[in-house]
């Protein structure tokens, strides 16, 4: 069976585009004059004055999303309850997300839960969401996860020790607004760790076995753009921040199936609560045999940009922690098969995987 692929319906790109957000919201407000918009904003912006530049009205709700940790099923459930309480039976005219992957994913998951019964964990998997979410608008302030265009909202389920997305067309944003001015304040290391996520999604997808020509074309373009940015003198120059936003946007559309970088990265996030982007960097740093060319490129980029990746992060863990790392990694059967084939456990034995963690 072929999949009927969906893309984001509308997008606007350019320096200063944030100024046009009010125009984008206007018809949505006109169609539901009594109903509020819900603004999900990365907590970093609580003290920056961003709110005063947004078209927020009196009846709207502003939710500052605490992204100190990546989204969890419990956190998403709690946020959904707050938003439902505020809505009190009304249907929001739009949900808007301002932030990186954590904020955008929170918005996507809460959106699904507003129109579907039950809890976040009920929808972790593929095609489990039955009803469309309210209209959603993404305004990324950090580029790289591709959450703005992807069909997943990723959440950690602490009880089940698994990080898994709500993979559904209903998770997708309806509108994306890319304004590179918004990423100027991102700390350099963070900018790299998250930005490089695009490149990783794309090379994992393009070197895997589940492919199609459209996804390959998008992945190749996004990888080109990432290399332009990360092999340049200043990855955070004005032009490069715009290119990075576009790479992330295209990369999100290409991120069908990842390979072996993301599973080990997910292990680090689940067991050590390590953020996604830096966890990917550690993961690739011990996969020189599985992705030799990409490993070499990565080492060049990290050196060129002067990015920190201190070693020894898994040097002194307990046996139980190593086992948990192995288990939280090896469970990702689809991506591991994508890169290594169905017998991936022959290569990634428990000893082999733990050996890689020890080297990080």
186 binds ligand NAD (CB under 6 A): yes
Per-residue binding letters, 81-110, with ligand NAD (x by CB under 6 A): ------------------xxxxx-x-----
Nearest approach, Cβ of 29 to ligand NAD (angstroms)? 26
Edge to edge, what strands does the sheet with 136-140 contain?
Answer: 10-13, 175-178, 136-140, 94-99, 37-42, 61-65
Q: Classify residue 49 by its DSSP letter.
A: T
- CA–chain centroid gap for 274, Å, is 14
Q: How far is CA 129 from CA 120, 168, 170, 264, in A?
A: 10, 6, 7, 27
Residue 176 burial by CB count (10 A; 0-12/13-18/19+): exposed, middle or buried? buried
251 binds ligand NAD (CB under 6 A): no
Q: Which does 208 bind (CB under 5 to 8 A by kind): Zn ion, ligand NAD, none?
A: none
Coil/strand/helix, residue 169: helix
Instruction: Give the Cα separation of 295 and 254 in Å (integer).
Output: 20
Q: Which lies closer to ligand NAD via its Cβ, residue 29 or residue 276? A: 276
70 binds Zn ion (CB under 5 A): no
- CA–chain centroid gap for 303, Å, is 24
Nearest approach, Cβ of 275 to ligand NAD (angstroms)? 6
DSSP string, 219-256: HHHHHHHHHHHHTSS-TTSHHHHHHHHHHHHHHHHH-S
Q: Interface residues for Zn ion in 168-197 (CB under 5 A)?
A: 197
Q: Which residue is nearest to Zn ion (CB)?
A: 197
Please identify, among the stretches 56-64, 235-243, 270-278, 292-300, the one whose residues bind ligand NAD according to the rule CB under 6 A.
270-278
With CB under 6 A, what is the number of residues at the site for ligand NAD? 32
With CB under 5 A, what is the number of residues at the site for Zn ion? 1
Q: Interface residues for ligand NAD in 15-74 (CB under 6 A)?
A: 42, 44, 67, 70-71
Instruction: Give the Cα separation of 189 and 148 in Å (integer).
Output: 21
- CA–chain centroid gap for 329, Å, is 18
Q: Interface residues for ligand NAD in 137-166 (CB under 6 A)?
A: 141-142, 144-147, 150, 152-154
Per-residue binding letters, 187-226, with ligand NAD (x by CB under 6 A): ---x---x--x-----------------------------
Binding site for Zn ion (CB under 5 A): 197
Binding site for ligand NAD (CB under 6 A): 42, 44, 67, 70-71, 99-103, 105, 141-142, 144-147, 150, 152-154, 182-183, 185-186, 190, 194, 197, 252, 275-277
């Amino acid at each position: 069976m072929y999949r009927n692929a969906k893309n984001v319906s509308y997008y606007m790109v350019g320096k200063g585009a944030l100024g046009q957000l009010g125009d984008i919201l206007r018809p949505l407000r006109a169609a539901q004059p009594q109903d509020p918009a819900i603004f999900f904003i990365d907590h970093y912006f609580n003290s920056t004055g961003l709110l005063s530049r947004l078209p927020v009205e009196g009846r709207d709700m502003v939710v500052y999303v605490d992204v100190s940790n990546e989204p969890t099923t419990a956190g998403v459930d709690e946020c959904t309850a707050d938003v439902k309480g505020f809505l009190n039976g009304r249907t929001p005219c739009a949900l808007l997300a301002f932030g990186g992957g954590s904020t955008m994913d929170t918005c996507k998951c809460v959106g699904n839960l507003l129109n579907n019964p039950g809890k976040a964990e009920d929808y972790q998997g593929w095609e489990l969401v039955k009803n469309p979410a309210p209209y959603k608008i993404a305004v990324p302030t950090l580029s790289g996860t591709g959450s703005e265009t992807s069909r997943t909202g990723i959440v950690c389920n602490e009880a089940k020790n698994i990080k898994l997305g709500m993979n559904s067309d209903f998770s997708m944003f309806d509108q994306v607004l890319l304004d590179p001015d918004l990423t100027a304040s991102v700390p350099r290391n963070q900018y790299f760790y998250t930005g490089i996520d695009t490149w990783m999604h794309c090379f994992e997808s393009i070197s895997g076995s589940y492919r199609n020509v459209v996804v390959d074309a998008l992945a190749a373009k996004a990888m080109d753009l990432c290399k332009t940015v990360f092999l340049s003198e200043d990855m955070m120059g004005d032009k490069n921040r715009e290119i990075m936003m576009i790479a992330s946007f295209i990369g999100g559309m290409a991120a069908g199936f990842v390979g072996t970088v993301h599973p080990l990265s997910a292990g680090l996030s689940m067991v050590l609560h390590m953020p996604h982007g830096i966890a990917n960097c550690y993961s690739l740093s011990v996969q020189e045999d599985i992705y030799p060319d990409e490993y070499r490129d990565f080492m060049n980029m990290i050196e060129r940009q002067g990015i920190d990746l201190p070693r020894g992060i898994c040097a002194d863990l307990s046996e139980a922690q190593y086992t948990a790392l192995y288990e939280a990694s090896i469970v990702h059967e689809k991506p591991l098969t994508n890169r290594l084939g169905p017998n991936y456990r022959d290569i990634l034995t428990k000893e082999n995987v733990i050996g890689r963690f020890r080297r990080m």
